[in-house]
Structure 1
Amino acid sequence: MKNSNPSRAIVIGAGLGGLSAAMRLGAKGYRVTVLDRLDRAGGRGSSITQNGHRFDLGPTIVTVPQVFEQLWADCGRDFRAEVDLWPVDPYYEIRWRDGSTFRVNGDDTAMEAEVARLSPADVPGYRKFLRDSETRYQFGFEGLGRRPMNKLMDLVKELPGFVKLRADKSVYAHAASRVKDERLRMALSFHPLFIGGDPTRVTSMYILVSHLEKEFGVHYAMGGVQAMADAMVRVIEDQGGEVRLNEDVAEITVKQGRTTGVVTEEGEALTSDIVVSNADPGTTYEHLLSKQTKKRWTPKRLNKSRWSMGLFVWYFGTKGTRDQWADVGHHTILNGPRYNGLLDDIFIRRKLADDMSIYLHRPSVTDPTAAPEGDDTFYALSPVPNLHGKSVDWAEMTETYRANMAKVLNDQMLPGFEDHLSASHIFTPQTFVDRYRSPFGAGFSLEPRIFQSAWFRPHNVSEEIAGLYLVGAGTHPGAGIPSVVTSSEVLNKLVPEARNPVIPPVQRLAAE
């Protein structure tokens, strides 16, 4: 028999962090309501469709399927039975302006041959780098990343590991200590850009991504990340929860230092036992809790924090091109003429450079549903400065930057593609502010520097308000699909079982 007065939880935001949190709260017996201001679930992993082209707006790959398998298992379900996940091979190809390339896959022999093709003398150093990566994966992802870090002692206990693994070195500095070829240094160090960090300044702990790729592969969800988000919604609804779209939260309500629920922009007051925010921590503390006095995450502190770079993303479709550009696969990284200098322009000088590097996503070579038959769907992403301080006027610069990007794509990868354009849509950092309420238009919340990681990051259990919890890219363990989903695993260890479960525990266990 279902409880007529169950414990209730409200989740703000239907991103992957919020949806995974809702699933785990539902498994604990909470009646969960998820509220999101967008018209599709998935947050930055949602999609839009234009002229038959489905554009995945944000993340495009899954690197640690096990976190989803565990999430589904925690809810008594089978992830593989509900989501069609395909391995991508090669994972991606890196291209430089001199014509050299580097194709990445999971085969050790093939990868060493790729390294040797660029720089035979760097093969031994490459092997050492992979060993370093595995060590940091065990310490950083399986260790720190899957445990709460909301108490200072949680950090103090790990300090010897940080010292031993030289967490003070940057990702680029560590790669440079292992290989001499500048192309390989780039190929082994660029990964922090996919979680919003400057490779020349974020902690070398993030070289663990190289092990993730090697050990678990790179995968694509058929139907895009949107299909994964939709599958998560089905689990939540099967648990008795609800996902309400086009519902914007205006305020988290507080009484005597404890959250009591939320108020929507339409003025509807919803009460709950706990609130979980998948909104950016900056948005949570500065806007959703604007009436509350903060001790740690004050507006001044948030303004002084270092935020991840912005993103310029051009989503476009081409008609009748499925058999063209046969050398352009699912994922391609096209380097500009500079690496370190461009990073300085983006992160330090906050200058919109004339040159650019581009990540090109072509899902239609793997997933026919991404485009009309015979057509192609693409997105081209370029890191740019965020909107903090002196910022770019994107109302003025959008078309100029798009035209520059088109020229690079035409000259380097997709000759003549503009003659086939059948759909076009652009996101700038200003879009991230307007669509996601992202502070300063940052693409990945707080930059994952060493003093903005682990305990130094906004905690999963709020330091400010009792009964409030945080998940998603801006909290521990950080950005990227595996970490965002793992934030709900950490949450699961902090939130108590529902006092009045939707289904009494015995019946719930029997049902599982």
Structure 2
Amino acid sequence: MNIVGRFSRPNRQPADTRPHAVIIGAGVGGLATGALLGAKGYRVTVLDPLDEPGGRAYAHRQDGFVFDAGPTIITAPWLFENLWRDCGGRMSDDVELRPNAPFYRVRFDDGTVFDYSGDRAAMEEQIARIEPRDVAGYRSFLDESRRIYEVAFEQLAHKPFHSLLFTAKTLARLVRVGGYRSVYSVVSKHFRNDKLRTLFSFHPLLIGGNPFSATSFYCLIAHLEGKYGVHHAIGGTNALVRGIASLVTRNGGRIRLNEQVVEIETEGRRATGVRLASGEKIAADIVVSNADPATTYGHLLKAHPRRRWTDAKLARGDYSMSLFVWYFGTNRRYDDVLHHTMLFGPRYKGLLDDIFRSQRLAEDFSLYLHRPTASDPSLAPPGCDAFYVLSPVPNLQSGTDWSAAAERYRRKIEKRLEDTILPDLSRHIVTSRIATPVDFRDRLLSWQGAAFALEPKLFQSAWFRPHNKSEELENLYLCGAGTHPGAGLPGVVSSARIVADLVPDPATILSGQWQEQAWRERPQ
């Protein structure tokens, strides 16, 4: 049965003759693409199997608590302000973003605490307490982070890498900022102390990367955060999602929920629409997939001959880690716990080797604890706190039986939190739910349960990542975490803008001129 989401508007007007863009997936990337294409003049239909928009940025509502399912850290707020502007609105009319100060509290296994912020004087004072000689290294690291940012983010994050010629022209810039190095190797060049090396290299984990193999482009995050800050949305990140969804519908787009796409329809080497699980076929002038690229090519185009993203190539890819997430609410408040807390375990490289290389579920872990009620008490009943705690774990290639392991793992995390920053936690939990790599595979349709699609290594980035303009079919475009520029809220919004710039002008579709143009501009 077709179910039209509550964000859809009934169409009682004459038939809409605008070119039709069908978007697979109502994650942030898919919604942002739909909003931009609607503003550009397309008739937009967004399809998603969940009952609410958001994808990984879904919200769970349970027992009076609101839990953001996934992303909680908002950087580069101007990207969202520009999205609203280009769709004819103002973000401040729909969503309120507020800064976090400090950005995070970091707790090391020995109890050392570091408040990570954009205040350079405060940062240098804390660094000096750990290793005075590394204050100079902090300054030089920020200089290098800025140089990487100016190339990798300002110049290249919003440009499509579907052309070998463009890639060749930018190669010198990529080499100049050291993209062949890992994040950890760059950080280690500036810092002597192991704690500080961990502190300034962990950021790739927020987007599915291993600091020991992720390209050093991701060192730009330090400058990005320092320049624009770390923010949260009042009402949770899903309030930002709902705002972007409203941009889609106010320009006449439709968001159809509880609708799963099972195949991209093709004719020759062109995408012509999609087929739903119900059997309904929806014709389209262009198709945009916000799904995991491996799912797009390996499932939605499984019957279509593919030249680059074959089943064998998909199987050889290195996929990101997955996540174990425990959402819980307490009947008391923990007012000394910040909005964002990182709790590092006893091992760093060894744990990451277990997750990314050995594909082994380790006995120890590092955790990210999210307490949104530190900033927005409305997300829990009065006097209560809402939390989620996230642990990086191997994806489903590990063979872990999560039906047997999940509760034991949750209890270990509960004890760790209780022993460190949430005393008496077990006595105060009043609501609880978990998500494992199986949920990422079955609910979010992520390949191998990987939480962030392909791992962001050098040879799985830029030109080597699935292109925003498909190499396999005309009229097919990709947005979201699995394509260029990568995961994270800034990355998926940038991917939406790339797609909006790549698609043909609706007027050329109506005139019939676009097919010849598309053939000339096809990815090499």
TM-score, normalising length from structure 2? 0.93
Structure 1, residues 76-124: CA drift from partner, whole Å, max 9, x if none?
A: 2111221111111111011012121110111121111121121111000
Cα distance in 2 for residues equivalent to 1:196 and 1:383: 9
Contact 1:461–1:470 under 8 Å retained in 2: yes
SS of the residue corresponding to residue 282 of structure 1 reads helix
Matched, 1:104 2:112: no
Cα distance in 1 for residues equivalent to 2:16 and 2:391: 51
Q: Could you tell me which amino acid in structure 2 is paired with residue 339 of structure 1?
A: Y
Cα distance in 2 for residues equivalent to 1:462 and 1:316: 40
Cα distance in 2 for residues equivalent to 1:214 and 1:235: 29
Q: What is the aligned partner in structure 2 of residue 332 from structure 1?
A: 341
Deviation at 1:453, TM superposition (A): 0.1
Q: What is the aligned partner in structure 1 of residue 414 from structure 2?
A: 406
SS of the residue corresponding to residue 436 of structure 1 reads coil
Contact 2:16–2:43 under 8 Å retained in 1: no
Q: What is the aligned partner in structure 1 of residue 383 from structure 2?
A: 374
Structure 1, residues 118-155: CA drift from partner, whole Å, max 9, x if none?
A: 11110001100001101111111111111111111121
Q: What is the aligned partner in structure 1 of residue 395 from structure 2?
A: 386
Which residue of 126, 134, 152 maps to 1:122? 134
Q: What is the aligned partner in structure 2 of residue 487 from structure 1?
A: 495
Contact 2:29–2:493 under 8 Å retained in 1: yes
Cα distance in 2 for residues equivalent to 1:7 and 1:55: 37
Deviation at 1:501, TM superposition (A): 9.5
Q: Which runs of 5+ in 2 are unaligned?
A: 1-12, 511-524
Cα distance in 2 for residues equivalent to 1:3 and 1:127: 60
Matched, 1:151 2:163: yes
Deviation at 1:257, TM superposition (A): 1.2
Matched, 1:345 2:357: no
Q: What is the aligned partner in structure 2 of residue 448 from structure 1?
A: 456
Cα distance in 2 for residues equivalent to 1:61 and 1:30: 31
Q: Could you tell me which amino acid in structure 1 is paired with residue 26 of structure 2?
A: A
Q: What is the aligned partner in structure 2 of residue 297 from structure 1?
A: 309
SS of the residue corresponding to residue 5 of structure 1 reads coil
Q: What is the aligned partner in structure 1 of residue 519 from structure 2?
A: none
Q: Could you tell me which amino acid in structure 1 is paired with residue 239 of structure 2?
A: A
Q: What is the aligned partner in structure 1 of residue 192 from structure 2?
A: 180
Contact 2:151–2:177 under 8 Å retained in 1: no
Deviation at 1:342, TM superposition (A): 0.5
Which residue of 442, 455, 467 maps to 2:475? 467
Matched, 1:274 2:286: yes
Cα distance in 2 for residues equivalent to 1:496 and 1:118: 55
Which residue of 346, 350, 363 maps to 2:372? 363
Q: Could you tell me which amino acid in structure 2 is paired with residue 462 of structure 1?
A: S
Q: What is the aligned partner in structure 2 of residue 168 from structure 1?
A: 180
Which residue of 390, 405, 411 maps to 1:397? 405
Matched, 1:224 2:236: yes
Which residue of 253, 269, 274 maps to 1:262? 274
Q: Could you tell me which amino acid in structure 2 is paired with residue 447 of structure 1?
A: E
Cα distance in 2 for residues equivalent to 1:97 and 1:461: 45
Q: Could you tell me which amino acid in structure 2 is paired with residue 357 of structure 1?
A: S
Q: Could you tell me which amino acid in structure 2 is paired with residue 209 of structure 1?
A: I
Q: Could you tell me which amino acid in structure 2 is paired with residue 437 of structure 1?
A: L
Cα distance in 2 for residues equivalent to 1:428 and 1:202: 23
Matched, 1:238 2:247: no
Deviation at 1:500, TM superposition (A): 8.1
Q: Which runs of 5+ in 1 are unaligned?
A: 503-512
Cα distance in 2 for residues equivalent to 1:252 and 1:501: 20
Cα distance in 2 for residues equivalent to 1:78 and 1:308: 35
Deviation at 1:436, TM superposition (A): 0.6
Matched, 1:136 2:144: no
Contact 1:259–1:466 under 8 Å retained in 2: yes
Which residue of 184, 208, 217 maps to 2:220? 208
SS of the residue corresponding to residue 133 of structure 2 reads helix
Structure 1, residues 212-250: CA drift from partner, whole Å, max 9, x if none?
A: 110000000111111111111111111011101111111
The alpha-carbon distance between structure 1 residues 164 and 4, as it changes in their structure 2 partners (threshold 3 A), is closer
Cα distance in 2 for residues equivalent to 1:233 and 1:209: 27
Which residue of 43, 49, 52 maps to 2:64? 52
Cα distance in 2 for residues equivalent to 1:166 and 1:12: 35
Cα distance in 2 for residues equivalent to 1:39 and 1:71: 24
SS of the residue corresponding to residue 314 of structure 1 reads strand
Contact 1:148–1:493 under 8 Å retained in 2: no
Contact 1:363–1:377 under 8 Å retained in 2: yes
Q: Could you tell me which amino acid in structure 2 is paired with residue 96 of structure 1?
A: F
Contact 2:214–2:458 under 8 Å retained in 1: yes
Cα distance in 2 for residues equivalent to 1:137 and 1:42: 28
Q: What is the aligned partner in structure 2 of residue 505 from structure 1?
A: none
Deviating above 4 A after TM superposition, structure 1's stretches of 4 or more consecutive aligned residues are none
User: Please, what is the CA RMSD of the aligned residues?
Assistant: 1.3
Q: What is the aligned partner in structure 1 of residue 521 from structure 2?
A: none
Deviation at 1:425, TM superposition (A): 0.5
Q: Could you tell me which amino acid in structure 2 is paired with residue 244 of structure 1?
A: R
Deviation at 1:4, TM superposition (A): 3.8
Which residue of 422, 430, 437 maps to 1:422? 430
SS of the residue corresponding to residue 32 of structure 1 reads strand
Contact 1:28–1:501 under 8 Å retained in 2: no
Cα distance in 1 for residues equivalent to 2:31 and 2:313: 29
Q: What is the aligned partner in structure 2 of residue 5 from structure 1?
A: 17
Cα distance in 1 for residues equivalent to 2:407 and 2:345: 19
Which residue of 23, 26, 42 maps to 1:14? 26
Q: What is the aligned partner in structure 1 of residue 522 from structure 2?
A: none
SS of the residue corresponding to residue 169 of structure 1 reads coil
Cα distance in 1 for residues equivalent to 2:173 and 2:18: 43
Cα distance in 2 for residues equivalent to 1:3 and 1:66: 36
Q: Could you tell me which amino acid in structure 1 is paired with residue 435 of structure 2?
A: F
